Chains A and B, each alone.
Chain A
Amino acid sequence: MITVNNRDQLDWTENMTVRDILKLMGHTYSLITVTVNDQLVEDEDYDSFIVPDHAFVSVFHLAHGG
């Protein structure tokens, strides 16, 4: 089981990537920052970064305006 944004829980599967999690969560917006267990995962690693079981994943949406 993994936890996303301290709220949603997903069943963990072997070789699950950050990209798989984003698809399962329905994230299509590209301007996001993702961490797994408090460590940054860069865009180019979304397809290759394997998320371990019991991980805490955070997806931050970045919106214009400041």
Chain B
Amino acid sequence: MSEMFLRNVPGTDDILKNITVGIAGCGGIGSNVATSLTRSGIGSLVIADMDMVEITNLNRQHYFQDDIGKIKVDALSTHLSNINPEVKIIKHFGKITAHNYLELFHDVDILVEAFDLAGEKKWLIEGWMKNKPNIPIIAGSGLSGIGSTARIKIQKSGILTICGDQESDMSQGLIASRVILVANMIAHEVISEILKDKLK
């Protein structure tokens, strides 16, 4: 067992290090989910995004001043390796589309949906449910504004889990405390999903 995980929940390390999680989008949700999963001991991540780091990302996304102008998946990969040098990272720089997502994430144990736009969330969630009916997908919906934490919920049906208030829209603005809260709920749902059967 790696010394890094001596304080982890006993019995989880050997399970988590053999898991691959796909993360579609490396913004407010995706970058923070990737960070928490790396700290938790997930062994492999497939991260995909088409953007560069901009200064406006730094209020909520896991990037730093000297990342500005860098490709997000490159910057994030560096940060994740700085947390755990043993984490395996497959990077895809480019747009995730309805034509390539199955290939990009063909070998993952769980997929995290971390897109900005609701229409894109819809095609990814529904496409995944149709084409990968046995692989869980965990998504975010409603993490904007300054609404009460009590409004944030977890809703599940079959392979789909959605975290968020399912109401607030990014036109209300995005603040770190709420975005990262939902990102960490998603990360924890990933961990719970993996461990629910294997720790019985």
Q: Would A40 and B129 count as touching, CB distance under 8 A?
A: yes
Q: Which of A14-22, A46-54, A58-66 lies at the binding interface?
A: A58-66
Measured as residues with beta carbon below 8 angstroms from the partner, the interface class of chain A is: 10 to 19
Q: Which among B118, B130, B143, B157 is the interface contact of A31 at CB below 8 angstroms?
A: B118
Taken residue by residue from 32 to 58, chain A's Cβ proximity to chain B (1 for < 8 Å, 0 otherwise) reads as: 010100111010000000000000101
A63 vs B29: C-alpha distance in the bound complex, in angstroms? 13
B117: which A residues are within 8 A, CB to CB? 64, 66
Q: Are B155 and A60 in contact (CB under 8 A)?
A: yes
A33-B126, A40-B130 known; A64-B170 Cβ under 8 A:
yes
- Partner among A56, A62, A66 whose Cβ is within 8 Å of the Cβ of B27: A66
User: Most chain-B Cβ atoms within 10 A of its Cβ — which of A5, A56, A61?
Assistant: A61
Chain A residues whose C-beta falls within 8 Å of the C-beta of B125 in the assembled complex: 33, 60, 62
- From B39-47, B90-98, B158-166, give the one contacting chain A: B158-166
Q: Which of A38, A62, A64, A66 contacts B157 (CB 8 A)?
A: A38
B residues 1-58 touching A (CB-CB < 8 Å): 25, 27-30
Residues on A facing B (Cβ under 8 Å): 5, 31, 33, 35, 38-40, 42, 56, 58, 60-66
